[in-house]
Amino acid sequence: MDETTNEAPFAPHPQRAALLAEVHARPFAPMATPARILRFAFLADATQAAAARAWMDRICAQAGLPPPAANAKHHAARLQQAEIVFEQHGEFVTYTIRFTDASAKPFDPPAAELMRRLPPIEQPGPHLVSIDLALARAEAAGPLESVFDATSLAAARVKQGAAIIATDFRPDASGFVRLLVLNDRLTLNAAGALCVRFVETETYRTFALLGLPEAQRLAPKTARIETELADISAAMTRSQGLADDGPLLHRLTLLAAELEADTAASAYRFGASRAYDELVHQRLNAIGEETLDQYPTVASFLARRGAPAMRTVMTIERRQGNLSEKLTRATNLLRTRVDVEIEQQNKKVLEAMNERASMQLRLQQTVEGLSIAAISYYVVGLFTYVFKGLKEAGLLPVDPNIATALAVPVAIGGVAYVVSRIRKAHGGDGH
Q: Judge whether residue 311 has pLDDT over 80.
A: yes
pLDDT at site 305: 82
Contact (Cβ atoms closer than 8 angstroms) between residue 38 and residue 114: yes
Calculate mean pLDDT across residues 32-45.
Answer: 94
Could you give the dihedral angle defined by the CA atoms of residues 61, 66, 68 and 70, in that order, rounded to the nearest 10 degrees?
90
pLDDT one-digit tens code per residue, 134-148: 999 988 888 899 889
Q: Give the confidence band of 23 by pLDDT, cuts at 50, 70, 90.
A: low
Predicted pLDDT of residue 430 = 46
Q: Is 5 exposed, middle or buried (0-12, 13-18, 19+ CB in 10 A)?
A: exposed
- Split at pLDDT 50, 70, 90, the class of 60 is very high
Q: Name the average pLDDT for the chain.
A: 86
List Cβ neighbours of 242 (8 Å cut-off, separation of 6 or more): 338, 341, 342, 345
pLDDT tens per residue across span 200-209? 999 999 999 9
- 26: confidence class by pLDDT, cuts 50, 70, 90: low
Give the Cα separation of 119 and 32 in Å (integer): 24
Q: Lowest mean pLDDT: which of 212-226, 298-312, 379-393? A: 379-393
Interval 351-406: pLDDT, tens: 778 888 888 877 776 776 677 777 877 787 887 878 777 777 777 787 877 877 87
Lowest mean pLDDT, pick from 13-22, 47-56, 143-152, 211-220: 13-22
pLDDT > 60? residue 3:
no
Give me the pLDDT at residue 27, please.
Answer: 64
DSSP conformation class of 254: H
Q: How far apart are CA 407 and CA 386, in angstroms?
A: 11
Check residues 161 and 70 and name the one with the higher pLDDT: 161
Q: What is the pTM of this model?
A: 0.75
pLDDT on residue 1: 46
Q: How far apart are CA 36 and CA 296, in angstroms?
A: 24
DSSP 243: H
Neighbours of 200 (CB within 10 A): 20
| Alpha carbons 217 and 262: distance in angstroms, whole number | 10
Residue 150 has pLDDT above 60, yes or no: yes
Please tell me the distance from the alpha carbon of residue 406 to that of residue 193, in angstroms, as a whole number: 125
What per-residue confidence (pLDDT) applies to 183? Answer: 93
Residue-level length of the chain: 431
Alpha-carbon distance 267 to 152, whole Å? 32
The predicted model gives 29-45 an average pLDDT of 93
- pLDDT class of 168 with cuts at 50, 70, 90: very high
**Mean pLDDT across 110-125:** 91
Average pLDDT over residues 98-113: 89
Arithmetic mean of pLDDT, 28-38: 89
37-66 CB burial, b ≥16 within 10 A, e <16: bbbbbbbbeeebbbbbbebbbebbeeeebe
* 234 alpha carbon, distance to own chain's centre: 30
The SS3 assignment for 409 reads helix
Q: Which residue has the higher pLDDT, 265 or 417?
A: 265
CB atoms within 10 A of CB 183: 24
| Rounded percentage of the chain residues whose pLDDT exceeds 70 | 94
Which are the contacts of 333, defined by CB distance < 8 A and separation ≥ 6?
A: 236
Nearest Cα to 333, choosing from 217, 235, 415? 235
Q: Which fold has domain 211-348?
A: Methane Monooxygenase Hydroxylase; Chain G, domain 1 (1.20.58)
Q: Hey, where are the domains in the chain?
A: 26-198, 211-348, 350-425
Higher pLDDT, 359 or 84: 84
Amino acid 25: pLDDT = 59
Is the confidence at residue 428, as pLDDT, over 70?
Answer: no
